[in-house]
A = this chain, B = another copy of it.
Amino acid sequence: MTVSRRLFLAGSATAATAASAGALASCSKRDAGGASTSEPPSNSDDTPQPLRDAIVEFDGPHQAGIDTPTQASLNLIGFNLRERADGPAITRLMRVWTADARALCSGETPLGSLEPEMNEWPANLTITCGFGERVFDIAAPGRKPEWLHDIPEFTRDQLEEKWGQTDLVLQICSDDPVMGAWAMRHMTRAGMDYVDTKWVQQGFMNAYGAIPKGQTPRNLFGQVDGTVNPHADEEFAEQVWIDEPEGVAGSTSLVVRRIAMNLDEWELLDRASREEAVGRTLDDGSPLTGGDEFAAPDMEATDQYGLPVIDKNSHMARAMPPADHPEQRFKRRPYNYNLPPEPGSGALSNAGLIFIAFQKNPDTQFTPVQARLDEVDRLNTWTTHIGSAVYWVPPGTSSRDGGDEYWGQSVLEA
């Protein structure tokens, strides 16, 4: 069925009123605490509620959801513009989406929403928007970044069209999966006059507070994954945020690769073989040449037989930027996926990684690394790239003095 935005908005004539009433009622309920006059809820212990008031600032020089600590739940949605969508339509969509995302991430009720109760506790919700090539072709052809094109197809790629490039992307992350689902629902509905959903990539990482502080999370191969990420602001400035020209400064690029991981065969390996394939220990992710997770690997070290301790074909060795190309670094923000096994496949699993990478320029950062891995990487035996897309991620927005900016404004208005 199709639902028109007119009807949706008509139905929400009383939304603002309902929203305020809802918010007020909830506040009084919160203040009243456990002062219920009838049967009390059973769950009245003193467990902490660390997510109760967890809000990630929506506005800022960069969009949130990039240097934000990885939340537990991901809905990455690829949208295609409807046929009639022209430049002005894209601008209208961006106005609506930005305003609604700003409200949702702040725990407020977007205009036209009849569900204020679903938006109360964002749990670190971030909504990050990216533009595919076609948005520029339609609305700002002269401003398309030169790197905004398909990642070249690699020898080992088995790309499926259903996980391919789209015109727009929303990366919706929250530590509460209910909030994440609701934000996906709201944003999809808010955009329905302009876009259709092409795919949704749903993933997860560790829950807030589930693993020790500062511990780099693991993927479903059991590997500590994300050690070489930028942490400090200067590293983000170097690797991620585009500097110029004005209006584009603060933007970045998002590359998403859907990587199927063959758990069934991976798990036949003993631990030593798994560690050799990666070049790091499974225990804590430290290089096989010693030190802790963040120690520099010693690529020259050999064992008592004169063999390299870290295999030159290991994932770590191949992914490392060569000495003359220190720019080959980027921010990895991967999520696991774990779907039911395909019926009839005989497989026990259907799992992998939604590998999201942010960098200034995929052509000089992501692509050379992936080309090297595609050529040789011992992990390749168990991994297959099945989806690929690239987006420009507009700079962050400002809502100062009531002049609310929208995503991509500097480019769309130019």
Contacts and interface: CB of A to CB of B under 8 A. Distances in A.
Contacts of A263: 185
A211 B339 CA distance: 27
A176 to B, nearest CB: 4
Interface in A159-212: 162, 175-179, 181-182, 184-185, 188-189, 192, 197, 199-200, 202, 204-212
Interface string A298-342: 000000000000000000000000000000000000001011110
Nearest to A228: B39
A30 interface: yes
A283 B117 contact: yes
A259 interface: no
Nearest to A203: B177
Q: Which of A41, A73, A121 has the most CB of B within 10 A?
A: A41
A298 to B, nearest CB: 13
Given A114-B271, A212-B30, A271-B14, A185 B349 contact: yes
A1 B178 contact: no
A204 B188 contact: no
A269 interface: yes
A14 to B, nearest CB: 6
B268 A3 contact: yes
A185 B11 contact: no
Contacts of A200: 339-341
Contacts of A178: 204-207, 210, 217-218, 336
Contacts of A296: 38
A402 interface: no
Interface residues of A, number: 107
Interface stretch (A21-29, A141-149, A239-247, A360-368): A21-29
A52 B215 CA distance: 12
A170 to B, nearest CB: 13
B270 A29 contact: no
Contacts of A29: 283-284
Interface of A: 1-3, 7-8, 11-14, 18, 21-22, 25-26, 29-30, 34, 36-45, 47-52, 69, 72-73, 114-115, 117-118, 121, 123, 162, 175-179, 181-182, 184-185, 188-189, 192, 197, 199-200, 202, 204-218, 220, 222, 231-232, 263-265, 267-271, 274, 282-284, 291-296, 336, 338-341, 343, 346-349, 351
